[in-house]
Structure 1
């Protein structure tokens, strides 16, 4: 169950930063509300995940999901650059997340 919480918390993190972008510096209320709600769920689910996953593994994977998800959504929704260099480094983050999962286990 801890791994499910971790994945959901990472996805909520992506929702939070996307909402932050849509809030236009917290000037637009829908984006602001989304950022607060997604942010709450992201941290809550991360805290639940860390009950069964070591901090170093859980936090590393959480940030990796957030980083990769944000980069991909930025490309898809906001016209961010899709250079091969950016995609290469996103691939390295994914490899790092997989490595943490393979070596992390539980407490």
Structure 2
């Protein structure tokens, strides 16, 4: 169950960064509240996951999945460039996070 919590926590990071980008485009209290809620949601599930998963592993997987999801979100929603070099490095981030799970 802790690994599921960790995946859910990474969605909090992904949508939190999305909220920051939207807030930078148009500043409003509602968008600021969205930042606080999404990161709070992510931190809550990160805390739940870290009750069973060691901190170093949980943090590495959380940030890896969050970074990969944020890059994909930028490419799909904000039309950021998705060239082959960027996608290769994205694959390296994901394989690094998965590798931690396989060898821990």
TM range, smaller chain: over 0.9
TM-score (norm 1): 0.91
Q: For this pair of structures, how many residues does the alignment match?
A: 104
1:30 Cα deviation from its structure 2 partner: 2.8
CA RMSD, 1 decimal: 1.3
Point out where structure 2 has 5 or more consecutive residues left out of the alignment: none
Report the TM-score, using the length of structure 2 for normalisation: 0.94
User: Structure 1 residues 44 and 25, CA, compared in 2 at 3 Å: closer, same or farther?
Assistant: farther
Contact 1:2 1:50 in 2 (8 A): yes
Give the distance between the partners of 1:65 and 1:100, measured in 2 at CA: 12
In the TM superposition, structure 1's runs of 4+ consecutive aligned residues that sit over 6 Å from their partners are none
Match of 2:74 in 1: 74
The whole-number CA distance in structure 2 between the counterparts of 1:10 and 1:95 is 16
- Give 2:95's aligned residue: 95
